[in-house]
Amino acid sequence: MSEKSIKVNVAILGAGSAGLSALRKVKSMRETGLLIDPGPYGTTCARVGCMPSKLLIAAADAAHEVHKASMFGVHVDEGAVTINGKDVMKRVQSERDRFVGFVKESIAQRDKDDELLKGRATITSEGVLSVECNDGSSQEVHYDRLILAVGSRPIVPPPFRALTAPVMLTNDDIFELDDLPESLLVVGLGVIGVELGQAMARLGVRTTLVGIDGLIGPLQDSDVLAEAHKIFKQELDLHSNYELHSITQREDMSGVDIHFTDSDGRERQEFFQKVLMAAGRRSNLDRVGLENIDVMPDKDGKYGINEGTLQLRDMPIFVAGDANGFHPLLHEASDDGKVAGENAVVYPEVLAPRRRTHLSVMFSDPQIATIGRNCTKLPGVDLAEGSLNYDDQGRARVMGVNKGLIKVYAEHKTGRLVGGEFFGPDVEHLAHLLAWSVQSGLTVDEALDMPFYHPVLEEGFRTALRDLSSALKHRRKVKCRVAELGVGS
Mean pLDDT value of segment 435-456: 97
Per-residue model confidence as pLDDT tens digits over 362-373: 999 999 999 999
pLDDT classification of 486: cutoffs 50, 70, 90: very low
In angstroms, what CA-CA distances link 278 with 102, 153, 209, 270?
A: 27, 11, 10, 19
Name the 3-class secondary structure at 361: strand
Rounded CA-CA distance 50/178 in Å is 19
Q: Model's pTM, two decimal places?
A: 0.92
d(CA 454, CA 463): 13
Please check the confidence at residue 1 and state whether its pLDDT lies above 50. no
Fold of 359-473: Enolase-like; domain 1 (3.30.390)
Please state, in angstroms and rounded to a whole number, the distance separating the CA atoms of residues 28 and 320.
18
Averaged pLDDT, 24-47: 90
pLDDT digits (tens, 9 = 90+) for 379-412: 878 999 999 999 999 999 999 999 999 999 999 9
Average pLDDT, the chain: 93
pLDDT number for residue 376 = 78
Per-residue pLDDT band at 425 (split at 50, 70, 90):
very high
First to last CA, the chain: 56
- Mean pLDDT value of segment 188-211: 97
- pLDDT reported for residue 43: 75
Nearest to 403 by CA among 222, 189, 214, 227: 227
**Quick one: pLDDT at residue 375?**
78
Q: CA triplet 201, 89, 209: central angle to 5 degrees?
A: 25
- Reported confidence tier of residue 480, pLDDT bands at 50, 70, 90: low
Residue, of 335 and 114, whose pLDDT is higher:
335
Pairing of strands 359-362, 367-372: antiparallel
CATH homologous superfamily of domain 5-39+118-154+282-346? Answer: FAD/NAD(P)-binding domain (3.50.50.60)
Same fold, 5-39+118-154+282-346 and 158-280: yes
Give me the residue spans of the domains in the chain.
Answer: 5-39+118-154+282-346, 158-280, 359-473
> In this predicted structure, what is the pLDDT of residue 50?
85
How confident is the model over 322-360, as pLDDT tens digits?
999 998 888 999 999 999 999 999 999 999 999 999 999
pLDDT tens across 74-110, in order? Answer: 887 765 778 999 999 999 999 998 988 888 888 888 8
Q: CA 164, CA 91: separation in Å to the nearest integer?
A: 26
Strand residue runs (E) in 134-224: 138-148, 152-154, 168-169, 183-187, 206-210
So what's the pLDDT on residue 174?
93
Residue 487 confidence (pLDDT) above 50: no
What ranges make up the beta strands (E) of 340-463?
359-362, 367-372, 383-389, 405-411, 417-424
pLDDT digits 0-9 by tens, 48-73 = 778 999 999 999 999 998 888 888 88
What's the CATH architecture for 158-280? 3-Layer(bba) Sandwich (3.50)
Of all residues in the chain, the percent with pLDDT exceeding 70 is 97
pLDDT of residue 78: 65
Residue 489's pLDDT band, with cuts at 50, 70 and 90, is very low
* pLDDT band with cut points at 50, 70 and 90 for residue 483: low
pLDDT of residue 2: 45
